[in-house]
Structure 1
Amino acid sequence: MASCLVLLAAAVVLGVRALGREPTVTLLANWTGDDERNLRQAVIEPFERKYHVHVDYQGSSAESQVLGADVEAGTPPDVVVLTGPGELADYAGQKQLQPLDGLIPREDFGASWATPLADGHVYWFPLKADLKSIVWYPAGTSEAERRRARDDPAQWCVGMGSGATSGWPGTDWIEDILLQQHGPGVYQSWAGGRLSWRSPQVRRAWTTWGRLMGAGTSSSLLRRTLQTGYAEASAPVTATPRGCTLEHQASFIRTQSTAWSQVDGRYAPSSDLIPGSTADDSWEVSGDLVALLHTTPQARQLIRYLSSPTAQRAWATAESAFSVDIRAQPTTTGPTWHHTLATTLLSPSATHCFDASDAMPPTIRDAFAEAAIDYLAHPGHLDSLLTTLETLRQAPGQTWLPAVCDRAP
Structure 2
Amino acid sequence: MKRNARFAAVAAGVAALATVAGCSSGGSSGTSSSAGGGGSAAALTGDCAKYQDYAGHSGKTVTMFGSILSPESDSLNSSWADFSKCTGITIQYTGSNTFESDLPVKVNGGNAPNLAIIPQPGLLAQMVATGAVKDPPAGTVKNEDNWNAAWKGYGSVDGKFYAAPMSANMKSLVWYSPKYFKDNGFTVPTTWADMMSLSDQMAGKMTGAAKPWCGGIGSGTASGWPATDWLEEVVLGKYGGQVYDDWISHKVKFSDPQIQDAMKVITDWLQNPKWVNGGVGDVKTIATTTFQNAGLPILKNECGMLQQASFYEAQWPKGTKVGPDGDVFAFKLPAVDPSIKTPVEGGGEFVTAFSDDPAVQAVQNYLSSPQWAESRIKVAPGWVSANEKVDQSLYTDPIDQLSAKYLADPSATFRFDASDAMPAAVGAGAEWTGMVDWFGSGKSSADVAKAIDAAWPS
Equivalent residue letter for 1:127: M
1: distance between equivalents of 2:100 and 2:401?
A: 32
Distance 1:392-1:166 versus aligned 2 partners, 3 A rule: same
Distance 1:203-1:260 versus aligned 2 partners, 3 A rule: farther
Partner of 1:358: helix, strand, or coil? helix
Contact 2:58 2:87 in 1 (8 A): no
Q: CA deviation at 1:21?
A: 7.9
Deviates more, 1:27-36 or 1:174-183: 27-36
Equivalent residue letter for 2:282: L
Match of 2:76 among 36, 39, 44: 39
Match of 1:345 among 399, 407, 412: 407
2: distance between equivalents of 1:312 and 1:9?
A: 23
Partner of 2:310: helix, strand, or coil? coil
Equivalent residue, structure 1, for 2:187: 142
Equivalent residue, structure 2, for 1:125: 164
- Pairs within 5 Å for 1:31-70: 31-43=68-80, 45-70=81-106
Contact 1:149 1:246 in 2 (8 A): no
Distance 1:254-1:119 versus aligned 2 partners, 3 A rule: closer
Equivalent residue, structure 2, for 1:370: 433
Match of 2:269 among 205, 212, 216: 212
2: distance between equivalents of 1:62 and 1:266?
A: 30
Q: CA deviation at 1:324?
A: 0.9
Distance 1:59-1:254 versus aligned 2 partners, 3 A rule: closer
Contact 2:75 2:380 in 1 (8 A): yes
- TM-score of the superposition, structure 1-length normalised? 0.83
1: distance between equivalents of 2:218 and 2:347?
A: 19
Partner of 2:139: helix, strand, or coil? coil
Distance 1:304-1:233 versus aligned 2 partners, 3 A rule: same
Match of 1:250 among 304, 309, 318: 309
Equivalent residue, structure 2, for 1:86: 122
Contact 1:254 1:260 in 2 (8 A): no
Equivalent residue letter for 2:102: V
Contact 2:286 2:440 in 1 (8 A): no
Equivalent residue, structure 1, for 2:63: 26
Q: Does 1:227 align with 2:276?
A: no
Q: Does 1:297 align with 2:378?
A: no
Greater length-normalized contact order (CA 8 Å, ≥ 6 residues apart): 1
Match of 1:386 among 449, 454, 457: 449
Q: CA deviation at 1:27?
A: 1.4
Partner of 2:392: helix, strand, or coil? coil
Equivalent residue, structure 1, for 2:387: 325
Equivalent residue, structure 2, for 1:103: 139
Distance 1:147-1:92 versus aligned 2 partners, 3 A rule: same
Partner of 1:190: helix, strand, or coil? helix
Percentage identity across paired residues of the two chains: 23
Instruction: Provide, for residues 182-235 of structure 1, a one-character-per-residue CA deviation record: whole Å limited to 9, x for no partner.
Output: 111111111123221111111111110011023578894124322321111112
Distance 1:260-1:137 versus aligned 2 partners, 3 A rule: farther
2: distance between equivalents of 1:34 and 1:229?
A: 16
Contact 2:115 2:360 in 1 (8 A): yes
2: distance between equivalents of 1:260 and 1:157?
A: 18
C-alpha RMSD of the superposition: 2.9
1: distance between equivalents of 2:302 and 2:273?
A: 20
Equivalent residue letter for 1:143: V
2: distance between equivalents of 1:31 and 1:377?
A: 26
Q: CA deviation at 1:271?
A: 1.9
Partner of 1:331: helix, strand, or coil? helix
Partner of 1:261: helix, strand, or coil? coil
Deviates more, 1:312-321 or 1:372-381: 372-381
Which structure features the higher share of helix residues? 1
Partner of 1:48: helix, strand, or coil? helix
Equivalent residue, structure 2, for 1:189: 246
2: distance between equivalents of 1:7 and 1:268?
A: 44
Equivalent residue, structure 1, for 2:333: 270
Q: CA deviation at 1:237?
A: 1.4
Q: CA deviation at 1:81?
A: 0.5
Instruction: Provide, for residues 93-122 of structure 1, a one-character-per-residue CA deviation record: whole Å limited to 9, x for no partner.
Output: 222212336332222222442226454211
Q: CA deviation at 1:315?
A: 1.3
Contact 1:128 1:315 in 2 (8 A): no
Distance 1:281-1:49 versus aligned 2 partners, 3 A rule: same
Contact 1:326 1:346 in 2 (8 A): no
Distance 1:22-1:351 versus aligned 2 partners, 3 A rule: same
Q: Does 1:279 align with 2:340?
A: yes
Partner of 1:291: helix, strand, or coil? strand
Equivalent residue letter for 1:194: K
Partner of 1:222: helix, strand, or coil? coil
2: distance between equivalents of 1:21 and 1:51?
A: 6
Instruction: List runs of 5+ in structure 2 lacking aligned partners.
Output: 1-18, 27-56, 204-210
Q: CA deviation at 1:301?
A: 0.9
Equivalent residue, structure 1, for 2:5: none
Contact 1:149 1:156 in 2 (8 A): no
1: distance between equivalents of 2:411 and 2:138?
A: 28
